[in-house]
Amino acid sequence: MNSFIKNTTPEYALYKGARKRRLFLSRVESVVKISSSQKYRHLYLYSPPGLGKTFSVKHVLNNLKINHLELTGNTSMYAFGIMLAVIQYRNPNLIPLTIFVDDSDELFRTEPSCNAMKNVLEGANKFTYEKSMANTEGDLTELQLEAVKFFRHEGRSGFEVPTHNLKFIFTSNNRLPLDEEVEKARKKGAAKSPLIVHRNAIRSRCRVLDFDLSKTEHWGWLADVALNTNCLSELGIDEKSTNEILMYVWENWDHLKERSIRVVEKMGLTILEQPHNYEKYWRMDFLQVA
């Protein structure tokens, strides 16, 4: 077998990846337990796509029986605000809630959205939408309209939702800028890249876990998920096939089109669908052809 990293074995890679994944899970668990009234209670999780961030966060929340709701961040700020309004309208006593926002990149894509989210996370602890809704109210459900009206101030457009009782967990495939990256941008002229400053300000308001992985850790992480969760067994993939998939991914790492849990699952399904010539389909579907 040719290792894709010199002097590295699959066993060592599994050890490294599993350790990194355990650290990830334990850190998520520790932040989830923080009081919703505590400063820096929000969590922003970054890692490359396809590592099972969503699955892992849900697993921790459900295991700990945390009172939480799940929202998508792949939406407009207006739609996100409507979702928050409904949540708080149905929570009249504003009891503490954990809000898991999956795929949150859209919420931090522009300067206005970052500024809105700053106030959601800290300081004002409010989501504020100040534009007229005359042309959009007709598209709302009855519950959404009731919620918006409840949080609307007389004589003002839009609505304002309190967020002081909410703790947010964001997952993202994009890392928030570091201080040194902001400094470099400023030296080049902040006007050329102001968004980096605003996104860095989001970092300062959250506890941030950046999981950049080496090749060794990345494969080991995938292997740990495949071997120690039910992601393959629930598809009907047995242990022998799981090991074969992982070794194929190991040997062909640098030639794979994707490197994710989803690829591992699709390879397993290919075994079930094409039991006699699945490797031919693996080459066609998952490898870059020179």
> pLDDT by residue (tens digit) across 85-94?
999 999 999 9
Share of the chain above pLDDT 90, in %: 74
What does the pLDDT average to over 129-139? 88
- pLDDT of res. 187: 80
Task: Specify the 3-state DSSP secondary structure of 287.
Answer: strand
pLDDT band at 2 (very low <50, low <70, confident <90, very high): very low
What is the pTM for the complete model shown?
0.87
Q: What average pLDDT score do residues 138-165 get?
A: 93
| Predicted local distance difference test score (pLDDT) of residue 50 | 83
Query: Are the C-beta atoms of 158 and 130 separated by less than 8 Å?
Result: yes
- Sketch out the chain's domains with CATH numbers: 15-210 (3.40.50), 230-286 (no CATH)
- Answer yes or no: are the C-beta atoms of 195 and 31 closer than 8 Å: no
Sign of CA dihedral 219, 224, 227, 229: negative
Q: How far apart are CA 69 and CA 89, in angstroms?
A: 14
C-alpha 208/C-alpha 31 separation (Å) is 10
Give the burial class of 155: count Cβ atoms within 10 A of its Cβ; 0-12 exposed, 13-18 middle, 19 or more buried.
exposed
Q: Which among 54, 5, 56, 53 is positioned nearest to 219, based on CA atoms?
A: 5
Half-sphere exposure of 70 (CA within 13 A, CB side): 10
Query: Residue 138: which pLDDT band, with cuts at 50, 70 and 90?
Result: confident
The gap from C-alpha 3 to its chain's centroid, in whole angstroms, comes to: 31
Q: Cβ distance 16 to 218 under 8 Å?
A: no
Identify the DSSP state of 65: T
First to last CA, the chain: 21
pLDDT at position 192 over 70:
no
pLDDT, tens digit, for every residue of 195-250? 999 999 999 999 999 988 899 999 999 999 999 999 999 999 999 999 999 999 99
Q: Which of 178, 183, 197, 59 is nearest to 115 (CA)?
A: 197
